[in-house]
Amino acid sequence: MTDPAELDVTIVDGYVDEPAHFGVPPYISTYPRYAAGALVDAGVPESRITYHTIDALREDTHLWRDVETADLMVYVGGMTVPGKYVGGTPAEPDEVRKLAWTADGTSIIGGPVRFGVGEANEGASETARDDLDFDFLAMADVEAAVYDLVESGLEGFNNRYRDVEEETRWARAGAFVVEQHPNHPDYLICEMETSRGCPYRCSFCTEPMYGNPDFRPPESVVDEVDALSDRGVAHFRLGRQADILAYGGDGEAPNPDALRRLYGGIREVAPDLETFHLDNMNPITIVKWPEKAREGIRIIAEHNTPGDTAAFGLESADPEVMSDNNLNVTADECFEAVKIVNEVAGFRPGGDRDTAPNHGDDAARRLPKLLPGINLVHGLKGERRETFEHNKQFLQRVYDAGLMLRRVNIRQVMAFEGTDMAETGADIAKDHKQLFKQYKREVREEIDNPMLQRVAPPGTVLPDVHLEYHQDGKTFGRQLGTYPLLVGLPGERELGRTIDVAVTDHGYRSVTGVPYPLDVNSASMAELATVPGVGKSRAGDIVVGRPYEAVGEVGDDLRRFITARPPERAD
């Protein structure tokens, strides 16, 4: 019998991306945290548990020794929706196989990888279940499998789901593992689970495989936030649920009282948190129960931090695609839901709630508190050329109505075993590949760019932008949060720093900015030229005329961006 107190365990995080769960850096998902907590609960000391991200293993080959020598190697990962990532690169199947081959001890794989593995992490692809050469494949909760495996002396386990009591214990006990994440503490956001499962059965989605919604009590979530806060975490997202508005209710109707206990409790145990965002909100919930939904959205907007996004799974505005794929919201219903979120939560800090959505010249210079985001999936059953026009018309309708969307997520379907799309596979997506590319470009040019100018007009201040990488002589960074804007700044600045930025220009899904406030007496030519109304010629004149005592000396039109620090004088 293997003594748990003598086990050395290595957890490898290959990252996850599910319809209701995200774990690519700067996010850390629940899987490695709960697995670590299950190990502790089973008797493994914290000091004998090592956590590595797949990116850390790529960057430092010496860390593979921890994989090789561990008595138990736990791999968590899996992508069930495709995406493009800045903060990390999810593990590819060949890398995961290498982990299994390297491990001399017992190895177990789990997480959404159990739903299937494709040749690569991309859309328009098909998947198959594959154990990737591990000793054990957890076909239910990997944390429950890990607990039972240790309890059995590494002999085996029965696939099962953990209960709420176990989740509450393991969430607190596993909080320590965040301290081993390369991004800890300053640039790490914890994905928080409030529920799993979904009452609806969209053809392509893996979330219904978890069954009907199963909610954690508010005190369980609050206790986990408390434990993570004690470990230095200041950034949280309630992302692990199909519909935040349905939290604590019957799975469909909103329960504002439960939301108040959840949001209020989190704010009480983590009063100094810096990011508090969410992810999924079902638009059908808003139109079916508009008054309760308005109250729930109001509660969220009172407690969250600016720039929050409620992802709406419209999936398709084509009524035929909706019918063929059991989608639960029409384009008209989704439009109404977009309108309600804008009216209730589309105000900016310092702005007037009663006139939301706030935008235009008089709007406060911060991102709105909470806006909808639209998810569109292509390659679904029944898709036709007209489908692309239906989607564009819906997005144009939202823009023409003066409403705001934080972002539009367009992707091609991944077909997983166990979903209704398994029979159709990726054939439609592959057939429509060229049409999809043209349509996506049109949406970026005709919708995304003007919408982004409305959401974050020139002069909008983005606090705490973390500088991540250099490219083409520029520095790029993001805030922590749900779907943060990618921000490009002139010049190559020191990476890893956090600065405030004022928006100066817009791309399709990113913005250009300058440090805020920009000191006219020390700013570079490139930074000055980026400010609206300046340009290269005026920037040159400003530099030649230095130093300045006040901003008014270079023009009152620049006060949104520029300050003038008095030049230092010799004694």
What are 551-570's pLDDT values in tens digits? 889 988 888 899 988 765 54
Our CA dihedral for 163, 165, 169, 172, rounded to 10 degrees, sits at 90
Q: Which two tokens stand for residue 80?
A: 């069930």
Residue of 306, 223, 292 whose CA lies nearest to 257: 292
Report the C-alpha gap between 199 and 179 in whole angstroms. Answer: 36
Is the pLDDT at 95 greater than 90? The verdict is yes
Residue of 341, 344, 318 whose CA lies nearest to 331: 318
Residue of 274, 189, 199 whose CA lies nearest to 238: 189
- In the block, residue with structure tokens 């006040």: 550
Residue 326 pLDDT? 84
In this prediction, residues 468-491 reach a mean pLDDT of 95
pLDDT tens figures, 197-255: 887 666 766 666 677 778 999 999 999 999 999 999 999 999 889 899 999 988 889 99
Is the pLDDT at 156 greater than 90? The verdict is yes
Determine whether 544 is exposed, middle or buried from the number of CB atoms within 10 Å of its CB (0-12, 13-18, 19+).
exposed
In this prediction, residues 380-393 reach a mean pLDDT of 92
* pTM of the entire predicted model: 0.92
pLDDT tens figures, 29-59: 999 999 999 999 999 999 999 999 999 999 9
Cβ partners under 8 Å of residue 571, min gap 6: none
From 141-155, 261-275, 426-440, the region with the lowest mean pLDDT: 426-440
Residues 561/531, Cβ–Cβ less than 8 Å: yes
Residue 170 pLDDT? 98
